[in-house]
Amino acid sequence: MNSELLLSGLRFGEGPRWRDGKLWFSDFYRHAVFTVDESGVETHIVDVPGQPSGLGWLPDGTLLIVSMTDRKLVRWDGSSLTDYADLSQIATFHANDMVVDAHGRAYVGNFGFDLHQAMLEREIPEILADNSAGNTSLIRVDPDQSVHEATDDVRFPNGMVFLNEGHTLVVAETLRLALTAFDVAPDGTLSNRRIWASTAAQGVAPDGICTDGEIIWAASALAPLVVGYREGGEVAGTVATQQNTYACALGGNDGKTLFIMTAPSSHPAEVATVESGSIEVAQLA
């Protein structure tokens, strides 16, 4: 299956979420959160000077936004942007993607190290082979705004989804080439770490992910491709895109449109000052 272009003119899109009839997303280097409707009309929502990434909503409808470079969560109530939680005591480099559960608990990943500098110094296979590269902790922010280490020893934790009505959290470990699952306890603590699906056979370094509850679609940060996986690693489908893929979300009026954030590269030296990013779409069966 091939994608089609919905919107061009992004710099680097991330954190897509379908809500209220629109796709919400961050653009790292336009330093703002936007929406786009199914006809491709973009609307500016709020500027985030610290570089926005993951998005999620509290039960009262307040939008949480990951502010990457200052390693914190901020909240947008529709009129003002305020600080919500400081992640810097746990996040060892830029904060990144996020998922928020029905109770208002936010799980936030972080780079763990300076990936972009490493990419200038080493080839990708060498970085992938270095088990210490990107090894860091996943962060949990509770509804009382307290910050906790959710789990350690995750390699560049990136996109996340809930399965089994929120009782299972799956984390894309980009540099481990795996989708890793955890059981979620009633208090939000994680246990029973296991590989939900390896993505190594397809050479997929999973970045952003989304799910219909059964299949997890993973953006492949190193290729113009999104791959759908079933638990155990069976490939359920693929979508070929026009550029490399970095995040995805399911939405649309029928819930079957796959929205894909694409760009020619993830390196800021190549994309931060040019509007070469896009949102592509594919209609799933």
DSSP character at residue 2: B
* Section 78-90 average pLDDT: 97
Which of 43-47, 181-185, 266-270 is predicted with the least confidence, judged by mean pLDDT? 266-270
Which of 125-134, 150-159, 160-169 is predicted with the least confidence, judged by mean pLDDT? 125-134
Token code pair at residue 182:
């955890």
Task: Quote the mean pLDDT of the chain.
Answer: 95
Q: How far apart are CA 217 and CA 229, in angstroms?
A: 6
Q: Please report which confidence band the pLDDT of residue 131 belongs to, taking 50, 70 and 90 as the band edges.
A: confident
CB environment 179-207: b (16+ within 10 A), e (fewer)? bbbbebeeebebeeeeebbbbeebebbbb
Q: Please report which confidence band the pLDDT of residue 128 belongs to, taking 50, 70 and 90 as the band edges.
A: confident
Indicate left, alpha or beta for 272 from its phi (over 0: left) and psi (-120 to 50: alpha): alpha
* Contacts of residue 188, Cβ cutoff 8 Å, sequence gap at least 6: 101, 103, 105, 140, 142, 150
Residue 85 pLDDT: 98
Q: How far apart are CA 109 and CA 68, in angstroms?
A: 10
With a pLDDT cut of 70, the percent of the chain lying above it is 100
Residue 57 pLDDT: 98
Residue 229 pLDDT: 98
Asked if the model's pLDDT at residue 133 lies above 80, the reply is no
Residue 127 pLDDT: 79
Residue 122 pLDDT: 78
On whether the CB atoms of residues 16 and 255 are closer than 8 A, the answer is no
DSSP character at residue 62: P
* Section 74-103 average pLDDT: 96
Q: Please report which confidence band the pLDDT of residue 130 belongs to, taking 50, 70 and 90 as the band edges.
A: confident
Environment class of residue 129 by beta-carbon count within 10 Å: exposed (0-12), middle (13-18) or buried (19+)? exposed
Residue 199 pLDDT: 97
Q: Looking up tokens 């759908």, which residue turns up?
A: 228
Residue 281 pLDDT: 98
Which of these, 223, 274, 283, 282, lies nearest to 8 by C-alpha position? 274
Angstrom CA distances, 72 to 89, 91, 249, stand at: 10, 9, 23
Residues 170-186: tens digit of each pLDDT:
999 999 999 999 999 99
Give the angle subtended at the CA of 214 by the CAs of 202 and 34, to the nearest 5°.
80
Residue 285 pLDDT: 83
Residues 186-221: tens digit of each pLDDT:
999 999 999 999 999 999 999 999 999 999 999 999
Q: How far apart are CA 134 and CA 153, in angstroms?
A: 9
With a pLDDT cut of 90, the percent of the chain lying above it is 89
Q: How far apart are CA 209 and CA 228, in angstroms?
A: 9
Domains and CATH numbers, the chain: 4-283 (2.120.10.30)
Q: Please report which confidence band the pLDDT of residue 117 belongs to, taking 50, 70 and 90 as the band edges.
A: confident
Residue 124 pLDDT: 79
Residue 195 pLDDT: 98
Residue with the larger pLDDT of the pair 135 and 25: 25
Q: How far apart are CA 128 and CA 124, in angstroms?
A: 6
* Section 72-85 average pLDDT: 97
Residue 121 pLDDT: 77
Residue 156 pLDDT: 93
